[in-house]
Amino acid sequence: MLEGYFPVLVFILIGVAFGLMPVMMGMLVAPHRPDSEKLSPYECGFEAFEDARMKFDVRYYLIAIIFILFDLEVAFLLPWATIFKEIVETESVKWFGFIEMLVFIAILVVGYVYAWAKGALDWE
């Protein structure tokens, strides 16, 4: 019964070995010569002048989330565009495929207009 899962176990073990092997080789082979400069938190030439845990503006996150949303929605448009010729040539799904994508694009436009109206795209 469990014989079918043995290849999966071997695959997982090989994957873990490939992940851990470079780390272990780095620990064994790499030189370890710490000094005060290497142990300092910043090596850019000057000391830190602000806290590293400063808060970002919320608008930064809003722009990032909106970018991810519209980027993913474009990822849904690409497969449809690649088979558009087949959709148009097939009589039974010609109008369904076209109207379905029009509804999808309309939802995209409504979301874009809403984000624009709320000022989520404005950066001061």
Structural domain contains residue 23:
no
Overall average pLDDT of the 8-32 stretch? 94
Structural domain contains residue 30:
no
Structural domain contains residue 29:
no
How high is the pLDDT of residue 77?
86
Structural domain contains residue 10:
no
CB neighbours of residue 19 within 10 Å: 9
Give the pair of three-digit tokens for residue 48: 């830190």
Give the pair of three-digit tokens for residue 29: 């082979």
Show the domain range for 113: 58-118
CA nearest neighbour of 103 among 75, 79, 73? 73
How high is the pLDDT of residue 98?
83
Structural domain contains residue 95:
yes
Tens digits of per-residue pLDDT, 34-63?
887 777 766 565 666 666 677 767 777 878
Number of separate domains in the chain: 1
**What is the pTM (predicted TM-score) of this model?**
0.49
Name residues whose C-beta falls within 8 Å of residue 37's C-beta, 6 or more positions apart in sequence. 43
Overall average pLDDT of the 30-36 stretch? 84
31's torsion region: left (phi>0), alpha (psi -120 to 50) or beta?
beta
